[in-house]
Amino acid sequence: MDRENDVTVQRVLQRPPVPPLPTPEILSALPQQPVSRGPVVQQRIFIGDMQRFNTVEITSATNAGDVIELVAGQGMLDRSGSWMIFEVAQDYGMERPVREYELLADVSASWNKDKLLNAFMIKPTPLARFLSRAAVPTSSPTHRGWVEWESKRGKWSKRWMELREHGLWLSKRDTGKDEIFLCSLSNFDAYYFTRPHKSPKPFVFATKSTDHLSLFENAADYLHVFSCNQKDGDGWIEAILVARSYVLYQERHVLFAKTGESLSQAKPLTRSATRKQSVSGRPVQPLISVPPPFNQSSTTNVTFEPGSLLAKRKGDPQP
């Protein structure tokens, strides 16, 4: 047994010494492993029309501004600043501008993958100035007016519509007494129609959910169509788009972080400074009365109510 112990000790002594851990300075100088951003997807980005496209790689963290920069860097766009990516929802015959800070993976997640109709297209638009990151308002805009609302397919009703409290409200009268809540801009956005839609007024627009249709029990709640004249329609489209930008900023502020800025680099939470108090101003006595520790002498003279189980009875043995 002693011989076996001697052999074990000898083997341990023959092992090479463990190298020391690297210093923090050395660790900080080592190249950092890139953060995984999920799977990479090949996405076609059409430019101007459906005849020309560029294939780019997007991840779950790629926003519309990243793609605009990439395509512009290849010399395919000018530097006018008016270019935006549009979500072309061909299954509904409509489109909308995608803000520069919106994630393309979130937009395409609402598409019907079986039809393979929808696409992204880069086009110049005057809306780029209203929907830029710097143009997000400090409060949600409001808007109101008469519109024709398509309550059912082909059935139009005149309604008073209001944009307020980050949603759309409809009523039969402009007093709003019988108003109903139509949709919230937390998951709805404004869309232009790209194909003819029979309507009582020349301009047609819609609000459609940015979520997948499968999340709705009633498909009629997924899309709301309106009609009015051109001037009023432009006002409604702009107001709804800007209000949606405000909601995105308030509810998903991480989208507005600068490219390359991680959540750990964000400004930490702060607390108000603690007020200084002099030692002389503090109370000398404790704030609560603490009884002395339990000891047997403190209970020697305690008497109990006659009849109590704790009362000492005659004949009981003394401790």
Residue-wise pLDDT for 23-37, tens only, equals 666 656 666 555 456
What letter represents residue 289's amino acid? S
Give me the pLDDT at residue 97, please.
98
Give the range among 72-86, 154-168, 255-269 with minimum mean pLDDT. Answer: 255-269
Q: Is the pLDDT of residue 72 over 60?
A: yes
pLDDT classification of 270: cutoffs 50, 70, 90: very low
Of all residues in the chain, the percent with pLDDT exceeding 90 is 60
Give me the pLDDT at residue 290, please.
44
What average pLDDT does the segment 204-210 reach? Answer: 97
Distance CA 76, CA 68 (A): 10
Give me the pLDDT at residue 192, please.
97
Give me the pLDDT at residue 282, please.
47
What is the per-residue pLDDT across 169-186, written as a single tens digit (0 to 9) for each?
Answer: 999 999 988 999 999 999
Verdict on whether the full-model pTM lies above 0.85: no
- pLDDT higher at 313 or 240: 240
What average pLDDT does the segment 96-119 reach? Answer: 91
What average pLDDT does the segment 2-16 reach? Answer: 54
Of all residues in the chain, the percent with pLDDT exceeding 70 is 68
What average pLDDT does the segment 259-270 reach? Answer: 42
What average pLDDT does the segment 289-311 reach? Answer: 50
